[in-house]
Chains A and B, each alone.
Chain A
Amino acid sequence: MLPELTREEILRYSRHLLIPDVGLQGQRKLKASSALLIGTGGLGSPVALYLAAAGVGHIGLVDYDVVDESNLQRQVVHGTWNVGQLKVESARLRLLDLNPSIEVEAYNEPFTSLNAMRIAEGYDILIDGTDNFPTRYLTNDLCVLTGKPNVYGAVYRFDGQVSVYYAREGPCYRCLFPEPPPPGLVPSCADAGVLGILPGTIGTLQATETLKFLLGIGTSLVGRLLLYNALDMSFEYVRLKKNPNCKVCGPNPTVTALIDYNEFCGVPGVEHDEGSAGREWDITPLELSTQLHSTNPPHLVDVREPHELAISSIPGAQNIPLGELAGRLSSLDSAEEMVLFCKSGTRSARALEILVSAGFRKLKHLNGGINAWARQVDPSLPVY
């Protein structure tokens, strides 16, 4: 039995009620439905706003981050006055302001194998708005194992991907990407940047697919991957098929329960945090500052892109972008003490791996990158 709409709701949703494909019955379906958003960042912002505005009756938000100023260029559910607040709480208040007739549940916790089943229980559909591979594989496997659709979106600089992975009707995420790339190969938005509007475009497409599924209308993206490029303003589709060897949705699955996704994705644990290359290779900003003032300072290698040097730089550093490092080893002296750095430590950790595998040993890696240097040693530099 679908819930009735109140007089206020009939007025609020009148533009939906006028569409024959939605109508009163469809709007009542939306009121009775629920959607769980994994991540309330760039993708999660437009998804959350549009699902709330559309009248999806119960929305769950999962995130454990706090709002940072650098989020506001694209995470439009949050405002300047929310900086420092929990993202789920900031988003919850914004959604209830937009539509007080819905319920919003905030889960201020990391989405992990230990809590994912509990959190997702009862939701009709999951929307993947995360920014990392472990949570994407977790969301996929959870959806396959529980028979729920996974509305997928991902962004990188000017490129976006959208699909609906629904193993009951088509392929899952693992059918296309059985394994993630090694950590560091595909840079994150924090390292590579993203056009602020891009997650808006991709997120609104995810919200559209979610509403279509909940209403049971249209042709979904199940079995298709939409590729968007903002620079070319191009939309392309490719067809996706079920992979008969898929480890989670294939006929002979080996993944029959949620696993350790950090281990699966090769993501470092506590002993090897993001921005660190492992303690034996790390040097702190203060230690580096001391060494640079010694009689035998190390050679500094900045592995950021050239355009980032205009934002901040350390005098005397040699710039070799990470993508060029393997081809420019001859410009480095393996007998010389060297310190690698980037923005926050992710790319220089990857650079360190490349140099170690090429036989370099006199290496250190600036823990936390030039942003940590700016915070701890040279406050005249901006943090970005």
Chain B
Amino acid sequence: MPVIKIPTPLRSYVNGLAEVPVAGATAGEAFENLLVQFPAMRPHLTNSRGELRPFVNLFLAENNIRDLQGLATPLSRDDRLNLIPSIAGG
């Protein structure tokens, strides 16, 4: 099953988990399943059309899914998605 890696700023929404296994044949399905498991994340990470908000990116290996096929990017069983939000601490 694919996994989504959760960065520390967002772990409070997923009970502190570093990675969440999520079923899904596409990045969008996997991401939707993450939001179903942890609904408190949804309003923060997606807009009313279900699109990723502009301060968060989903990477498949080294590539931003925006540069692939977006949420329709196909996933294989062992794929790892990396959720990368903007952080500002300095």
| Separation of A185 and B41 alpha carbons in the complex (Å) | 11
Q: A79 in the interface, Cβ–Cβ < 8 Å?
A: no
By a CB distance below 8 angstroms, the chain A residues around B7 are 156, 159
Q: A19 in the interface, Cβ–Cβ < 8 Å?
A: no
Q: A215 in the interface, Cβ–Cβ < 8 Å?
A: no
Q: Please pick, from A129, A132, A180, A241, the residue contacting B67 in the complex, using a CB distance under 8 A.
A: A241
By a CB distance below 8 angstroms, the chain A residues around B84 are 161, 225, 227, 238
Give the number of chain B interface residues (Cβ < 8 Å): 27
Q: A133 in the interface, Cβ–Cβ < 8 Å?
A: yes
By a CB distance below 8 angstroms, the chain A residues around B85 are 181, 186
Distance in angstroms from B44 CB to nearest chain A CB is: 6
Distance in angstroms from A331 CB to nearest chain B CB is: 15
A157 touches B8 (CB 8 A): yes
| Separation of A199 and B87 alpha carbons in the complex (Å) | 13
Bits for B45-58, please: 1 = Cβ < 8 Å to A, else 0: 00000000111110
Q: A86 in the interface, Cβ–Cβ < 8 Å?
A: no
| Separation of A161 and B57 alpha carbons in the complex (Å) | 14
Distance in angstroms from A63 CB to nearest chain B CB is: 11
| Separation of A129 and B89 alpha carbons in the complex (Å) | 8
B59 touches A181 (CB 8 A): no
| Separation of A179 and B12 alpha carbons in the complex (Å) | 22
Given contacts A156-B8, A177-B55, contact A323 B88 (CB under 8 A): no
By a CB distance below 8 angstroms, the chain B residues around A51 are none
B62 touches A186 (CB 8 A): no
A159 touches B9 (CB 8 A): yes
B82 touches A236 (CB 8 A): yes
Which chain B residues in 17-64 approach chain A with CB under 8 Å? 39-40, 44, 53-57, 59, 62-64
A238 touches B62 (CB 8 A): yes
Distance in angstroms from A255 CB to nearest chain B CB is: 14
By a CB distance below 8 angstroms, the chain B residues around A39 are 90
A42 touches B86 (CB 8 A): no
By a CB distance below 8 angstroms, the chain B residues around A181 are 44, 53, 55-56, 85-86
By a CB distance below 8 angstroms, the chain B residues around A243 are 66
Determine the residue in chain B with the shortest Cβ distance to A198.
Answer: B89
A180 touches B90 (CB 8 A): no
New A-B contacts (14) at CB < 8 Å, excluding given A132-B88, A180-B86, A186-B55:
A130-B90, A153-B90, A154-B90, A159-B9, A161-B84, A180-B55, A181-B56, A199-B90, A229-B8, A238-B59, A239-B63, A239-B64, A241-B67, A327-B39
Q: List 25 A-B contacts (CB under 8 A).
A: A130-B90, A154-B89, A156-B87, A156-B89, A177-B54, A177-B55, A177-B86, A179-B54, A179-B55, A180-B86, A181-B44, A181-B53, A181-B55, A181-B56, A181-B85, A186-B9, A189-B90, A192-B9, A192-B89, A227-B82, A229-B8, A236-B82, A238-B62, A241-B67, A323-B40
Q: Measuring CB to CB, which residues of chain A are less than 8 angstroms from any residue of chain B?
A: 39, 41-44, 128-133, 136, 153-159, 161, 176-181, 185-189, 192, 194, 199, 225, 227, 229, 236-241, 243, 321-324, 326-327
Q: Give 5 nearest A-B pairs by CB, closest first.
A: A323-B12, A189-B89, A179-B54, A131-B90, A178-B54
Q: Measuring CB to CB, which residues of chain B are less than 8 angstroms from any residue of chain A?
A: 7-9, 12-13, 39-40, 44, 53-57, 59, 62-64, 66-67, 82, 84-90
